[in-house]
């Protein structure tokens, strides 16, 4: 799999927007606002060009979504997203181990 380096290939404005959405989602998790966090992470994911799994930041976004579903005790969705991270994302196993 050819991993794309966001800072070199993804539009800087888009990358900044994705990072902002990721940070905002993390803030909502801290408040227990899991649905809002998931919505923000999914919006950020939708900004990635296809195929999304080639972008390094997709690993972070899908992991964040999966972990948020764990916090909600929605284990089926958590497993689905975290499985995608393991199988399809750059450095997926490494991100789940930390």
Tell me if residue 58 falls in helix, strand or coil. helix
Paired tokens of 11: 């539009």
pLDDT by residue (tens digit) across 53-68?
889 899 999 999 999 9
pLDDT by residue (tens digit) across 38-91?
999 999 999 999 988 889 899 999 999 999 999 999 999 999 999 988 877 766
Q: Would 33 be classed as within a structural domain?
A: yes
Q: Would 2 be classed as within a structural domain?
A: no
DSSP 8-state class, residue 49 = P
Give the residue numbers spanning the domain of 16.
8-97
Select from 82, 44, 24, 77 the least CA-distant residue to 52: 44
Q: Would 44 be classed as within a structural domain?
A: yes
Please count the structural domains in the chain.
1
Question: Dihedrals φ, ψ of 69, to 5°?
Answer: -65, -35
Alpha-carbon gap, residue 30 to 45, rounded angstroms: 20
Q: Would 13 be classed as within a structural domain?
A: yes
pTM summary value: 0.82
CATH number, domain of 47, equals 1.25.40.10
The DSSP bridge partners found for residue 55 are 4
């Amino acid at each position: 799999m050819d991993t794309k380096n966001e800072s070199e290939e993804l539009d800087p404005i888009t990358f900044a927007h994705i990072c902002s959405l990721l940070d905002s989602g993390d803030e909502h998790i801290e408040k227990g606002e899991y649905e809002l966090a998931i919505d923000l992470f999914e919006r950020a994911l939708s900004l990635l060009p296809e195929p999304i799994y080639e972008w390094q930041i997709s690993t972070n976004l899908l992991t964040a979504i999966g972990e948020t579903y764990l916090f909600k005790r929605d284990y089926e969705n958590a497993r689905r997203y975290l499985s995608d991270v393991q199988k399809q994302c750059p450095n997926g196993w490494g991100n789940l181990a930390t």
